[in-house]
Structure formats: structure tokens, C-alpha cells
A = this chain, B = another copy of it.
Amino acid sequence: MSRASSPAIFVYAHLDDAGRGVLRSALTGVRVVFADKHRDGAAHQEYLHRFRESDVCFGNVPADWLPQASRLRWLQLESVGFEYYQHVPNLPPGLVTTNLKGLFDTPAAETAMAGLLALYRGVDELVPAQVERRWVSLDVRPRMQLLHGRRVVILGHGSIGRKLRQLLEAFACRVQSFARTTAGAELRTAPELDAALPDADIVACCLPNTPATRGLFDRRRLALLAPGAVFVNIGRGLVVDEPALVETLQQRRIGGAVLDVTYEEPVPPDHPLWSCPRTLLLQHTGGGYDGELPAKARAFVANFARFEAGAPLHHVVNLSQGY
């Protein structure tokens, strides 16, 4: 079947064969150009050229490409975060941008649970001991703790925060969520958050990087945490004051940290976070799972059907404002 009037699609998203297969079988007859980002610099210029001729783009292209895409009507990002595009001047008029909200809820929430349970149940000590074939059972056991019944403050009440909350509640945790505008959160204001922090066993950040969230968990708030508290970040690194967090961990003023996200990614080899006590660096793997790339492709295909039908697209984001 040929679709003579179909838009030209430029696919810059990171996909595997399964993901490309999803697109090829769903978009028969549509003009699709796949970028291979592993190719050299010459290809970069070729892809920019193809991008400028496209009506639709799927994938996180370099931000400075956007003003050059005069034909572009829809940009489907392959991420939830879109902070890299928030300060681009001269966007194509009428461009609609969408993200993959919802696609990473379960993997991100499971990674937060994996990190918390690893710290509480001694997996962070038992795995290195196994590498060295050391039996450390009696050393580790007195330091083990339960997740059961913990008091938790979750920063952010979006889809990841809500999913994490549901999992924690299955472990009988008593959860309060902080969100200034999203309905359903118990903690609505900065003073309410500050009042809850000293009683929290766990603070879990699920916030995006926006002007309103950047630096929200600052040195003053870190100092409000109880001695045994665990700080989790599966949102964005810039939400917490990272130098203050490093000091807090190095001085063992809190119980530990589970960090999927950081200021710099990759974390530089000489960075102090690698060796902070009781700190797990999860290297921004939180959204990953084996079916991730085909799922991204299916999400694009579903939104493309709406695009062709003239229906409102799912998960529109506003590049000119925070979200």
C-alpha cells in the first residue's frame, strides 16, 4: 500500500533490529529515513540534511538542529526528559513536541526498589564479597535492615512517583508525596515538605529537571534528614545539590544513597561519588529493560496514527516552559 501524501519521517531514535522492525511493518508505504548514529561525521551532515526535509522526527536530535527544520511539524522525543530542548531559540512555527511519558515508570520504579533493597538487605556488601570469595555473613547481618514500615517522602507525584509509591506501600511503607500542583499529593508547599523531612527514613526524588525543580533539594534540606535516612534519585541529578550530597555522605550524616542520575553522566573516573559510603551509583540505567526499544517504537507508531488522523497527540510538552 502506498501513501502518496504521507509525511516524511526522520528516525534518529536509538533502536535495535526489533525496534526498527516495529516501525517498518507499521509504516509500510511511508517515507522513512533511519539515521545510523554510529556512522562518521560526514553522515552527520547527511542526516541534518534529511532532517531538514522531514515533516516528522522520532528521536532526540541535537538541539541546535531544531531551528533549521522549517518543515518540521512534530518531534516525538525518545525520552521523558526534555530539558535539553527548553532553551532553543527560533523553534519552527507550529512545531508540536511529545515525549515518552509513562514508558519508563515501571523500570524506573523497580530500579529504585532494587537499590533500596540492596542497601537495606546488604546486597551492596555481599556482591563485592562474592567477587573475592569472602564469607562475610556474620559481619553483614547486624547491619541489615528492613524496608518494611519505612516512612517515605517521594518528591514528585507524576507517573514514576506514583508507581514507586505503589511498590513501597506493598512493603507497608508509609508514603507522603510532595508536588506543588499535581493532585493527590499530601505535601503541597515548601514548608510542608520541610516539616516532613526530619521524620523520613527515605526521600526519593522522581522530579524532572525544570527551572522550578533545579536545586530544590539543597544543602539546607539535606541537613534536615535524619541520621539513618536514605536519599534516592531516579529523577534528575540537578534537583539535588550534589556537592552538598557528597559531603553529607562522606561525613556519614545520613544512612546512604541510591543515585540513578547525577550532574555529569558518565560520572568522571575521579569523582568522589564513586566511593561515597553506602552509596549505589546506578549509572542512569533506571529506564532500561530488554523490551525497551521495541516499546519506544510502538509508542511512536501509536502516536503517528493519531497524527495521521488529525487527533491530538499523546504527551505533548511545552518547550517554552517547565512541566
Q: Give residues in A with beta carbon < 8 Å to B.
A: 16, 106-107, 110-111, 113-115, 117-118, 120-124, 126-131, 133, 135-137, 140-148, 166-167, 169-171, 265-267, 269, 274-275, 280-285, 288-292
Contact A123 to B115, CB < 8 A, known contacts A106-B146, A171-B167, A290-B145: yes
Report which residue of A106, A146, A166 has the largest number of chain B beta carbons within 10 angstroms of its beta carbon.
A146
B274 touches A130 (CB 8 A): yes
A283 touches B129 (CB 8 A): yes
A121 touches B111 (CB 8 A): yes
Please report the C-alpha to C-alpha distance between residue A121 and residue B108 in the assembled complex, in whole angstroms: 9
Please report the C-alpha to C-alpha distance between residue A147 and residue B110 in the assembled complex, in whole angstroms: 8
Q: How far does the Cβ of A283 sit from chain B's closest Cβ, in whole Å? A: 4
* CB<8 Å pairs between A and B, sample of 12: A111-B121, A113-B113, A115-B123, A117-B118, A118-B123, A123-B280, A123-B282, A127-B127, A131-B131, A136-B283, A137-B265, A143-B290
Task: Give the contacting residue for A140; candidates B115, B146, B283; CB below 8 A.
Answer: B283
Residues in B with CB closer than 8 Å to A145 are 289-290
Please state the number of chain copies in the assembly: 2
Please report the C-alpha to C-alpha distance between residue A61 and residue B275 in the assembled complex, in whole angstroms: 42
Residues in B with CB closer than 8 Å to A121 are 107, 110-111, 114-115, 282, 285
Residues in B with CB closer than 8 Å to A166 are 170
A133 touches B269 (CB 8 A): yes
Please report the C-alpha to C-alpha distance between residue A111 and residue B291 in the assembled complex, in whole angstroms: 26
Contact A126 to B171, CB < 8 A, known contacts A143-B290, A290-B144, A290-B145: no
Residues in B with CB closer than 8 Å to A281 are 126, 130
Q: How far does the Cβ of A195 sit from chain B's closest Cβ, in whole Å? A: 27
A126 touches B288 (CB 8 A): no
Please report the C-alpha to C-alpha distance between residue A98 and residue B122 in the assembled complex, in whole angstroms: 29
Residues in B with CB closer than 8 Å to A126 are 280-283, 285
Task: Give the contacting residue for A114; candidates B120, B169, B282; CB below 8 A.
Answer: B120
Residues in B with CB closer than 8 Å to A123 are 114-115, 118, 123, 127, 280, 282
Contact A107 to B274, CB < 8 A, known contacts A114-B121, A114-B123: no
Residues in B with CB closer than 8 Å to A16 are 142
Q: Which residue of B lies closest to A117 (CB)?
A: B114
